[in-house]
Structure formats: structure tokens, C-alpha cells
């Protein structure tokens, strides 16, 4: 996916990756669609077939897909996962972060984006244990007290899927997203020739061998259908505030 989209009637981009944009481009995007997306992920075991940073790739690319349709900027993914599969089931190659640290970082990012003039800040997490959600919700609660003119939201991709697809861990849903966004990073041939389990393999949900890029695209469409109206409503409410 390209990093920005230029309006047919303007030389200015209407959305983009925050780190790739020059100051006047950020300002033009903010003036048109004053929303900043903050992808939130983790570094943790996703079985033998998928990369450690899957949650980051998933969250960032979902945010980019939404921003392409609504406008806005997308920050780099924050790989600070609370309650990863390391303390949950003992799997290695996982970097586990405390709720307090994740909340502090998220709060400071929210306040910095408010200071930069964004009306809406959406934290989109691709890693969604309740402890992760709680940390981000605590961050936005505190941010609302310090910068009440900005609207803050915590979203998770599994919730935006509704009933159409089930969120999982390294299963067919997450693997389908990874096959859509970064297919070269997935190797299902590395999986053992037996049923996969949570305790033995770190897989929760449908077998990842059932995953496909086409399924990932269908999942993304569901998220877009659910997320775009929400972003548009938040932007309209921010204008009227």
C-alpha cells in the first residue's frame, strides 16, 4: 500500500504515514480530516509460521486502509504488548510490557497529538487481551482530563470484525491478514503435520492453514464497512464541538 493519496483537485495528500510526511503535508491533512490513527501491537510468538511482529503489521495496515478512505495520518505502530503469550502460555520470543508503561506511553502520545491540533485520536490495537485494552482505556481516560477538546477512542480489530469473522491468535484470521499485508513473511509449510493447539503451538482459533489473502481482503472489507462511518461521525462531531 502506498504511503499517501493525493486529491485529484489538489497537490496535497489527503492521508499518509506521519513519519513520511513533510510539515505542510501534515497540516493540509489535519485541516481536511483532523484524525490521527495510532496502531498498537506487540512483539510475541505467533507460532512457527508467522512473524513475531504480526500484530504491528496488522494494526498499521488496517489503519492505513481506513485513512485512505477517511483521510488522516497514521503513526508508526507501537510494539508494546501487555499480557503477551509469554506470561499467558510461556512462549518465547515475546516482549511483555506492563500495563502502567503502556498506559503512560499511550497517554503521552495522545496528549502530543492533541497539542499538534488533531481533533480525533484513535488507538487501534491488533493485540487485544483485556489487559491491553484496559491500559489503553486508562490512557485515554487520563488524556481526556488533560486535553478535553480532543476525542480519543480505543479500537481493536477483532471488535470491528463483528460476527463476520472471529478474532484469534496466530489462527486463520490473523494469518489471513498477514498474507494480505505481507505474504512473504508467512510460511505455513513450517507447521507440524498435526492439529494445532494453544498450549502446544500458541494457536487459538481456526487452523492457520485455512488462511488466504482473499480471506484477509474480505476481513478488511468488513472492518472498513464498520470503521469508516464511525470515523466520519467522530470528525463531524469534532467540527460541531
Where do the H-state alpha helices sit in 40-182?
54-70, 85-89, 99-115, 130-146, 157-160, 172-181
- Predicted confidence at residue 4, as pLDDT, reads 53
Q: Give the residue numbers spanning the domain of 179.
A: 15-188+195-240
Looking up residue 230, the CATH number of its domain turns out to be 3.40.50.10310
16 forms bridges with which residues in the sheet?
4, 73
Structural domain includes residue 214: yes
Residue 168 phi/psi, 5-degree rounding, is -150, -170
Structural domain includes residue 8: no
Structural domain includes residue 5: no
> How many separate domains does the chain show?
1
Structural domain includes residue 3: no
Structural domain includes residue 107: yes
Structural domain includes residue 88: yes
Q: Is the pLDDT assigned to residue 2 strictly greater than 50?
A: no
Q: How many helices (H) and strands (E) does the chain have?
A: 9, 8
Interatomic CA distance for residues 32 and 150, integer angstroms: 16
For residues 62 and 125, the answer to whether their CB atoms sit within 8 Å is no
Query: Of 82, 96, 93, 81, which is closest to residue 47 (Cα–Cα)?
Result: 93
Instruction: Report the mean per-residue pLDDT for the chain.
Output: 95
* End-to-end CA separation in angstroms for the chain: 34
- Predicted confidence at residue 24, as pLDDT, reads 97
Q: Is the pLDDT assigned to residue 9 strictly greater than 50?
A: no
- Predicted confidence at residue 239, as pLDDT, reads 85
Q: What is the mean pLDDT of residues 1-30?
A: 80
Place of cell 480489530: 157
Q: What is the mean pLDDT of residues 78-102?
A: 97
- Predicted confidence at residue 5, as pLDDT, reads 54
Structural domain includes residue 56: yes
Residue 239 phi/psi, 5-degree rounding, is -65, -35
Q: Is the pLDDT assigned to residue 208 strictly greater than 80?
A: yes
Burial class (CB in 10 A: 0-12, 13-18, 19+), 1: exposed
Structural domain includes residue 6: no
Amino acid at each position: 500500500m502506498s504511503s499517501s493519496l493525493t486529491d485529484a483537485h489538489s497537490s496535497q495528500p489527503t492521508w499518509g504515514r506521519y513519519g513520511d510526511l513533510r510539515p505542510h503535508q501534515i497540516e493540509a491533512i489535519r485541516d481536511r480530516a483532523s484524525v490521527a490513527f495510532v496502531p498498537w501491537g506487540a512483539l510475541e510468538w505467533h507460532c512457527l509460521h508467522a512473524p513475531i511482529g504480526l500484530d504491528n503489521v496488522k494494526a498499521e495496515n488496517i489503519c492505513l486502509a481506513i485513512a485512505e478512505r477517511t483521510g488522516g495520518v497514521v503513526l508508526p505502530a507501537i510494539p508494546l504488548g501487555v499480557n503477551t503469550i509469554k506470561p499467558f502460555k510461556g512462549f518465547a520470543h515475546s516482549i511483555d510490557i506492563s500495563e502502567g508503561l503502556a498506559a503512560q506511553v499511550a497517554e503521552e502520545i495522545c496528549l502530543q497529538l492533541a497539542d499538534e491540533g488533531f481533533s480525533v485520536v484513535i488507538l487501534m490495537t491488533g493485540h487485544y487481551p483485556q489487559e491491553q485494552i484496559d491500559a489503553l482505556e486508562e490512557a485515554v481516560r487520563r488524556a481526556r482530563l488533560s486535553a478535553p477538546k480532543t476525542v480519543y477512542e480505543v479500537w481493536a480489530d477483532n471488535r470491528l470484525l463483528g460476527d463476520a469473522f472471529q478474532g484469534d491468535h496466530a489462527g486463520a484470521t490473523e494469518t489471513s491478514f498477514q498474507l494480505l499485508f505481507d505474504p512473504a513473511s508467512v510460511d505455513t509449510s513450517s507447521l507440524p503435520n498435526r492439529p494445532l493447539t494453544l498450549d502446544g503451538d500458541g494457536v487459538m482459533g481456526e487452523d492457520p492453514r485455512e488462511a488466504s489473502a482473499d480471506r484477509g481482503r474480505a476481513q478488511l472489507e468488513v472492518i472498513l464497512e464498520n470503521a469508516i462511518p464511525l470515523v466520519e461521525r467522530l470528525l463531524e462531531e469534532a467540527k460541531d464541538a
